Structure formats: structure tokens, C-alpha cells
Amino acid sequence: MSPLVLLPFILALAALLVAWRITYQRLQEERIGRVSVQKILDRCTSRETEISLLKALTEAVRSPLILTDANRQIRHLNTAARELFDVPSSTSSAGYDSLIAVTRHHEIDQLVGQALSSSEELETQVILGGNTYRMRVTQVTEGQRIYASIILEDVTELQRLGRARRDMVANISHELRTPITSIRLLVDTLVRDKERGTKRGQELLGKIAVETDTLEQMAQELLDLAMIESGRAELMLVPIDLHQIVGEAVEQFAAQAERKELNVRWQAPQDMVVLADATQIKRVLGNLLHNAIKFTPGGGSITIAARSKEAWVQISVTDTGLGIVPEERVRVFERFYRSDRSRQGGSTGLGLAIAKHIVLAHGGRIWVEEIPNQSGACICFTLPLAEPSSPV
């Protein structure tokens, strides 16, 4: 066959090969493109997963968290931050306003501006909604982008506890100084008055003994209070006869009441059984009776009553004494708190604080009840009733 006859076939075949190669290259490019797109999609999916996890982590944090960009435009708020600044939960990240518009706090805005212009972590305290927050701002970089992360930690309770600790140390120093000074004066008097005979010495030694007892009582009550507050004090909650416990407490203070000619009445049903630690509850009743006797003038009366209400028993100790003014009805249960009228006699200021913690450890509560149209004080506390089938 002549080559001229085969030439068209050869050209056609060459054209087919060129077309196939071009098509194959295009298919390869498309396949590579699909793989690249899939990788990009996988990276996007992975990034979205990471973002979702990070958002979930910020939601689990109770402290308010805020993320802003370099223009101080908010990019993220966790739930605590939205609640603090009254931002609706339905607002998306695209709908957040500027930091100053959301927080309405110039100090926060200025500190974030300083953090964005430097790489240092900045910290300050701000007042928001009446609470004190420790604010920390850190610059965060993502590639060429700069962000500021803000965390607000509520330290109001920590500051209150710090003040309480300082007050307690100051009160302890004050309360210890009084008996120590008295003992020092009495000892000095004894040293100077040797020639005045043994009677004078015996009187001074008796006063020293009283002041020493005050110091010992204060030390013991401080130890007891520390044990109770730390949860290290053991309570044996067993069914006890409240009638018997009240009777023993009244008998313990009968002599003191008789010296002041006080009429002490008590009412507790014979079959009233509570779930409590007998020793500790006698201590509560003893502290309340001691205060009632101390602040009730001679010839007055003290009434102890108990009544059941649902699953609880309410015990009240009412006197006809000086009473407690409304603004002091909460503070009387604080450690070392004593009103001016209570400074007429020896007291550590810890009795009601100990009573409060004992009652709380039993699951009950203690408070000062108002007495309408009558002078005096009424302190009530509750204890859980024992199960009807529980043996005493």
C-alpha cells in the first residue's frame, strides 16, 4: 500500500493521541485539584472542630471571657460574660459590638488598648455590678492578626474573707490584751502589797484566776470554732430526747438564774425526738441561756420553747432583757462581734458564732426573731426530727 494512502490514518491517529494526552492531563489536573480541595475541606473541618471545642471549653469556665480583635471589636463572649454585660444569648459573634459599647467601662477599654499595643500581660481590678473583679488582658497573635483575650475573675468573696481574717486577728489581739493587762496589773499589785496581809493577796489571786479562766475559755473556743469551721469536729447524729436535753441545760444554769432572781420556764414535749449530737446541742442551748441570763435584768424571765414543723423542730430562747436592735440581728453570729451593751461583762464574743456553726452542721439554721410590742431578745434555731421508728 502506498505511504500516501496511510498518511491520513497516521495523522488521524496522531491527532487522537494528542487529544487523549490533553484530556488525560486535564483529568489529572482535575484529580489533583479535587484532592487539594478535599484537603482544604478537611483542614476547614478540623479547624471548625477545634473552634467548637475551644468554644465549649470557654463555656465551661465560670469566669467571664472576652476575645477582641486589634480594633477592639468583640469576637467572642462566653456565657458568663454575656450574663455579666446583659448580652442576649441569641446574639451571634457577627452581631457583637465594640468592647466599650458592650462593657460600658472605660478602664477595661483602656487596658485592652494598652495590651494590644504591647506584648505584656496586664492586670488590674475593676468594679462591675457592685462586685470586684480581677481583670487580666493578654495579647494573642494568629499569623498576622492580633487579638486580646480578657478574663474577669470575681474576687469579691476573697476580699470579704481577707477583711474577715484581718478583723479576726485585730479582734483576737484586742480581746487577749484585756485579760493579759489585768493579770499584769494584779501581779504588780501583789508584788507591791506584800505587807498588807494575806486577805488582800487572796482577793487579787481570785481576780487573777478569773482573768486566767477568761483566757483559757477564749483559747478553747477559738480551737473549737476552728475545728467546727474546718469540718474536723466529729458530730454523732443520733436520735435524742429533746425534753431531756433542754432540762439538763436549764439545770446547769439554774444557780446563775437564781442569783439574778430570773424566772426560767421551758416547754418541750416529752415525745419530741431529734437527730442531733447531744453534747453539741447542749452547748448551743448553754450559750443561748448564758447570754439570756447575762442581758436580762434581775426579776426578768427567760422562756425556752420547742415546737415541731414538718420535718423540723424549732427551739426558741426568749428573754425580757435589753434586746437586739435590727441592724445587729445578723452580725451577732459573727466571730468576736459584741455590741456596746454586751461589754459590761466578760465575754469572748465567740459563743453565738460557735452555736451558728453547730446548728449549720446539723443541717438547721439559726436566727434572731423579732418580738412585736415587747422588749427582749428571741433567738431561734432548728434541728431535724428523727424518724418515728428511731430508738432513743
Task: Kindly report, residue by residue over 300-350, the tens digit of the pLDDT.
Answer: 999 999 998 888 999 999 998 888 888 778 788 877 666 654 444 555 667
**pLDDT for the residue 185:** 78
Statement to judge: residues 200 and 251 lie in one domain: no
Statement to judge: residues 257 and 392 lie in one domain: yes
Statement to judge: residues 268 and 387 lie in one domain: yes
Within 10 angstroms of residue 65's Cβ, the number of other Cβ atoms is 19
Is the separation of the CB atoms in 385 and 274 below 8 Å? yes
Residue 6 is assigned to a structural domain of this protein: no
**pLDDT for the residue 342:** 45
**pLDDT for the residue 381:** 95
Statement to judge: residues 251 and 333 lie in one domain: yes
Domain final position from 106, 134, 154: 154
Orientation angle between helical segments 351-361 and 278-295, nearest 10 degrees: 150
Is the separation of the CB atoms in 172 and 181 below 8 Å? no
Q: Nearest 5°: CA angle at 329, between 325 and 334?
A: 130
Overall pTM > 0.75:
no
Spans of the chain, pLDDT less than 70? 1-20, 24, 27, 30-31, 33-61, 90-95, 165-174, 191-198, 213, 229-233, 336-349, 388-392
Q: For residues 101 and 99, what is the distance between their CA atoms, to the nearest angstrom?
A: 5
Relative to beta strand 273-276, strand 145-154 is unpaired
Looking up residue 96, the CATH number of its domain turns out to be 3.30.450.20
Statement to judge: residues 147 and 259 lie in one domain: no
Query: What would the pLDDT profile of 233-285 be if each residue is shown by its tens digit?
Result: 678 889 999 999 999 999 988 888 888 889 999 888 888 899 999 999 998 99
Q: What are phi and psi of 261, to 5 degrees?
A: 55, 45
- All three cell numbers of 172, joined, read 483576737
Looking up residue 270, the CATH number of its domain turns out to be 3.30.565.10
Statement to judge: residues 115 and 260 lie in one domain: no
**pLDDT for the residue 315:** 94
CA 279 to chain centre: 28
Residue 4 is assigned to a structural domain of this protein: no
Residue 13 is assigned to a structural domain of this protein: no
Residue 87 is assigned to a structural domain of this protein: yes
Q: For residues 359 and 312, what is the distance between their CA atoms, to the nearest angstrom?
A: 12
Give me the amino acid identity at 282.
Answer: K
Residue 246 is assigned to a structural domain of this protein: yes
Statement to judge: residues 212 and 286 lie in one domain: no
**pLDDT for the residue 251:** 92
- All three cell numbers of 141, joined, read 497573635
Q: 191, exposed or middle or buried, with CB in 10 Å at 0-12, 13-18, 19+?
A: exposed
Statement to judge: residues 359 and 240 lie in one domain: yes
**pLDDT for the residue 1:** 52
Is the separation of the CB atoms in 368 and 377 below 8 Å? yes
Domain final position from 10, 42, 60: 60
- Overall number of domains in the chain: 4
What letter would DSSP give residue 370? Answer: P
Q: For residues 317 and 369, what is the distance between their CA atoms, to the nearest angstrom?
A: 10
Q: For residues 260 and 153, what is the distance between their CA atoms, to the nearest angstrom?
A: 55
Residue 10 is assigned to a structural domain of this protein: no
- All three cell numbers of 358, joined, read 453547730
Residue 181 is assigned to a structural domain of this protein: yes
**pLDDT for the residue 246:** 92
Domain final position from 154, 183, 200: 154
Residue 268 is assigned to a structural domain of this protein: yes
Identify the CA nearest to 318 among candidates 345, 339, 338, 291: 291
Sign of CA dihedral 143, 145, 146, 148: negative
**pLDDT for the residue 92:** 61
Statement to judge: residues 226 and 251 lie in one domain: no
Statement to judge: residues 252 and 319 lie in one domain: yes
What letter would DSSP give residue 331? Answer: G
Q: Which domain holds residue 335?
A: 234-392
Statement to judge: residues 211 and 221 lie in one domain: yes
Statement to judge: residues 226 and 330 lie in one domain: no
